[in-house]
A and B are shown apart, each in its own frame.
Chain A
Amino acid sequence: MPNETIEVHADYKNIRIPCERLRALLKSSDVPEETIDLCELALQELLTNLVDHAYAGNANGHITVNLSRNPSQIVMETRDTGIPPQMDLSQTSMPAPEELVEGGYGMAIIQTLMDEARYFTSQGTNTWRLVKNLK
């Protein structure tokens, strides 16, 4: 089953690499285009969050991304050693569009698109796990 691990510097240019690899991995395993798009957007949003918040713009940080697909799921896991997330995922919501808020959409987008989005921290490493179920 397709499985790939990529390590990148935590900057906006390099986080494109795992997104491109995700697209290639899923395309080669006959995942529908729409599902590929959803997963790529969720991964892009997560990685951008890690650049902005886990590493607070420190491009010396590293993010390890593991991408895998099995018959029933697409799994995207990231590991970083930055600032641990401190959010209550159950309280995340999409800002109302009429408020014209410029930020704060990333996590709400991830939770809307993915069937599972959770994180845990252990021994200085933060792991995020995003799962998309396949029909």
Chain B
Amino acid sequence: MSLEINSIEQIIKIVTITLNGRLDAFEAPALRKTCDAYLAGENNHFVFDLTDVTMLDSAGLAVLVSVLKRVRLKNGDVRLVWPREEAASRILKLTKFDQVFSSIEKSEIIPKGF
């Protein structure tokens, strides 16, 4: 019996946005503008690397929620790399968004070996 080979090529484009510093009301508009540009280009999968975010307030969180809402409408999703600083992760726990956003490790952003 000869070998049957079935293969599927999956191309999933993921936008990874790495943030460093304070994500607050002052900086949120710049992030929103960046995300809007990617969303206009039919990108539906986002990773926000918040490892080095030093402070996150509700204005910054609003941008992340906005992206999540919009990509889910197009069967996409958002993953967060959790902030190292408690000052940044606290609001995610307070608002219970730590139960809504899926988290990944920094090492998972790019698969090992690539």
Report which A residues bind B (CB closer than 8 A): 12-13, 15-16, 33-34, 37-38, 40-41, 44-45, 48, 51, 94-98, 100-103, 105-106, 109, 112-113
Contacts and interface: CB of A to CB of B under 8 A. Distances in A.
Contact of A105 (B22, B61, B69, B86): B61
Contacts of B96: 94, 96-97
Contacts of B59: 12, 48
Interface string B91-102: 100111101100
B95 A48 contact: no
A37 B64 CA distance: 21
A96 B96 CA distance: 8
For chain A, what secondary structure do more than half of its interface residues adopt (helix, strand, loop), or is it mixed?
A: helix
Nearest to B87: A37
B57 A100 contact: no
A38 B87 CA distance: 8
Interface string B64-85: 0110110000000000000000
Nearest to B101: A97
B58 A37 contact: no
Contact of A41 (B25, B57, B99): B57
Nearest to A101: B65
Contacts of B61: 105
Nearest to A16: B26
A37 B25 contact: no
Given A12-B25, A96-B96, 17 more contacts: A13-B26, A40-B55, A41-B55, A41-B90, A41-B91, A48-B25, A48-B58, A51-B25, A94-B96, A97-B99, A97-B100, A101-B65, A105-B91, A106-B58, A109-B91, A109-B95, A113-B94
B86 A103 contact: no
Contact of B94 (A33, A100, A102, A109): A109
B86 A100 contact: no
Contacts of B97: 97
Contact of B58 (A13, A33, A34, A109): A109
B62 interface: yes
Contacts of B66: 102
B36 interface: no
